[in-house]
A and B are shown apart, each in its own frame.
Chain A
Amino acid sequence: MKSITRAKPMESVLNGLAGYDRVFIAGCGTCATMCRTGGVNEVAAMRKALEEAGKLVTGTLVIPTACDTLTHECMEQNREAMEDAQVVLVMSCAFGVQTVAGYAGRPVQPALDTLFFGLETEPGHFAEVCMQCGDCVLARTAGICPVTACHKGLLNGPCGGTNNGKCEIDSSIDCAWTLIYNRLKEIGRLDLMHAYCEPKNFQAMAKPGHIDISAEGGESR
């Protein structure tokens, strides 16, 4: 499972850097490298683009796993170059951005948008399979999540927009409820689809999410 990211348009990155002349760039060696949005090559390309836009890049770093606690030590080793910068441009998912922001002591700016937690279903292809809703329905949907895979998150079957097993909003996307129907049929459990599903508890998705399992009897909220 990876945190899937997409590069913000260069124009948006430069708008965010307006007023800053000296920039430190931090990438990530894990998910963003796999997504080709914040690895060694992308960080080098960003350096070049920023220099062409008239910025001084005081240093670059590809943190092994930007959301990890070791990030602090990596940044310490590059403290001089980072302190010479007015802003840190972070080429990682939002988890990395938030971790870096805690140590940077200066403004940070995300260069990427974080899209979803994805499974790599084939090389270079990532699909969202779970959106951490806190109220799992997979038992009744043959292990395919309609909350995630149906554009509308419907719980009682397909909408009228489905066409030839594809989704109303994009004919390249499978209709989740067609997939669910096919698999339930295959495993002989269409009765699960016939059963009424109550409205979802949207407050089960803790916001902000927080869990403490350090103490015995620790619980989530």
Chain B
Amino acid sequence: MRQTFREALQSGKFVVTSEIGPPKGTNVESMLHHIDLLKDRIDGMNVTDNQSSVMRYPSVGGTLYIQERGGEPILQMTCRDRNRLALQADILFAYSRGIRNILCLTGDAVPVGDHKEAKGVFDLDSVQLLRTIRTMETGKDLGGNDLDGAVEFCAGAIVTPEANPIEPQMIKFEKKVKAGAEFIQTQAIYDLENFKRFMEVARKFDVKILAGIILLTSHRMAIYMNKNVPGVFVPQDLIDEMEAAPKGTKVAKGIEIAGRMIRRLKEEKICDGVHIMAIGKEEAVPDILDAAGL
């Protein structure tokens, strides 16, 4: 039997997770291809939940496919689109179908997505969602009513190590751990010295930290992220390295950089693993793993 994600986290090995983006529509062919490509090489596969507030095939649907095909799914759940009744109902459903890992997120704001006039729900926040799972594990729902059949999950959350200011984020990080987060995936990190400083604080908490890795595909992408993606900071030397790579070898350079970073994170035991977000370049994830020697 394959190892569960919780077992992988507790084994002390360097854990690797990645992400599957569900389709805009019912054509799941490419999602299934990505699942098959990665399922035997990594410890867990996240399925994003209407990522960037763009309406897509549901994350729970994606996790069921991963389950069927022999992978280890991690269900991403945001608080943006469902109130506490709907969230709890989906948690019951996921558990009943064998899903055992959940990543709790607040969710991006509605106006950044493709249904700009929709109502943002945010009945619960990410800390409260973590607590909800822990409450449901005791056989009760949020209303204090008995559940006929409880749940049990390996639950996690996220943090942004490069956030400015960092202190309010760290208070929330601590609240997430206290609320029952067993693992934390970080926003993309590129500056390992900054990340080490974050880890000095994070290490004090009983939680596994998976460093976020986003594949760079051009120096323009790095500049764009620095300007537009909150909490992402690509240092100038990496931007220069991407720019210097000859045309046609940019993605290969990005893979090399990602592999190099992962190798260092692992060799220097800086954190407990990585979470690779390929964002449309899932095909490159096996190459990143090869480059990292994993």
Which residues from chain A sit less than 8 Å from chain B, CB to CB?
151-165, 168-169, 177-178, 180-181, 185, 190, 193-194, 196-200, 202
Contacts of B167 in A (CB 8 A): 181, 185
Complex interface bits, B95-126 against A, C-beta within 8 A gives 1, otherwise 0: 00000000000111101100000001011111
Contact B230–A163 (Cβ < 8 Å): yes
Find out whether the CB atom of B230 lies under 8 angstroms from the CB atom of A168: yes
Q: CA A177 – CA B163 in complex, angstroms? A: 13
Residues of B contacting A190 with CB < 8 Å? 171
**Which residues of chain A are near B165, meaning CB under 8 Å?**
165, 178, 181
Q: Please measure, in the bound complex, the distance between the C-alpha atom of A58 and the C-alpha atom of B11, giving whole angstroms.
A: 82
How many Å lie between the Cα of A168 and that of B179 in the bound state? 25
Q: List 14 A-B contacts (CB under 8 A).
A: A151-B120, A152-B80, A152-B107, A152-B122, A158-B169, A159-B126, A160-B159, A160-B169, A161-B230, A163-B164, A168-B108, A168-B112, A181-B168, A202-B123
Q: Is the CB of B231 within 8 A of A154?
A: no
B103: min CB distance to chain A, Å: 13
B137 contacts A by Cβ under 8 Å: no
Contact partner of A160 (CB less than 8 A), chosen from B127, B142, B164, B231, is: B231
Report which of A154, A164, A185 forms a contact with B106, defined as CB distance below 8 A: A154
- Known contacts: A163-B164, A164-B164, A181-B165. The answer to whether A156 contacts B127 by CB under 8 A is yes
User: Taking the complex as formed, is B172 at the interface, i.e. its CB lies under 8 A from any CB of chain A?
Assistant: yes
Chain B interfacial positions (CB closer than 8 Å to A): 80, 84, 106-109, 111-112, 120, 122-128, 131, 142, 158-160, 163-165, 167-169, 171-172, 174-175, 178-179, 187, 230-231
User: Are B109 and A168 closer than 8 Å at their CB atoms?
Assistant: yes
CA distance A199 to B144 in the complex (A): 13
Task: Among A154, A169, A193, point to the contact of B122 (Cβ < 8 A).
Answer: A154
In the complex, the 4 A-B pairs of residues with the closest C-beta atoms, listed nearest first: A157-B172, A163-B230, A156-B127, A181-B168
Establish whether residues A152 and B109, one from each chain, have CB atoms under 8 Å apart when the complex forms.
yes
Question: Contacts A154-B125, A169-B109 hold; do A196 and B178 have CB atoms under 8 A apart?
Answer: yes
Closest to A151 in B: B109
Q: Decide if A158 touches B172 in the complex (CB within 8 Å).
A: yes
Known: A161-B108, A163-B164. 12 other contacts (CB 8 A): A152-B120, A152-B122, A153-B122, A154-B122, A154-B125, A156-B128, A158-B172, A159-B126, A163-B231, A168-B230, A169-B111, A181-B168
Q: A160-B231, A168-B109, A168-B112 are in contact. Are A155 and B125 (CB under 8 A)?
A: yes
Residue of B nearest to A155 (CB): B125
B122 — which chain A residues lie within 8 A by C-beta?
152-154
Complex: A165 Cα to B230 Cα, angstroms = 10
Distance to closest chain A CB from B31 (angstroms): 25
Instruction: State A185–B168 Cα separation when bound (angstroms).
Output: 10
Q: Which residues of B contact A157 (CB under 8 A)?
A: 127, 168-169, 171-172, 175
A159: which B residues are within 8 A, CB to CB? 106, 126
Q: How far is the CA of A145 from the CA of B91 in the complex (A)?
A: 31
Q: Bound complex: CA of A160 vs CA of B230, how far in Å?
A: 7
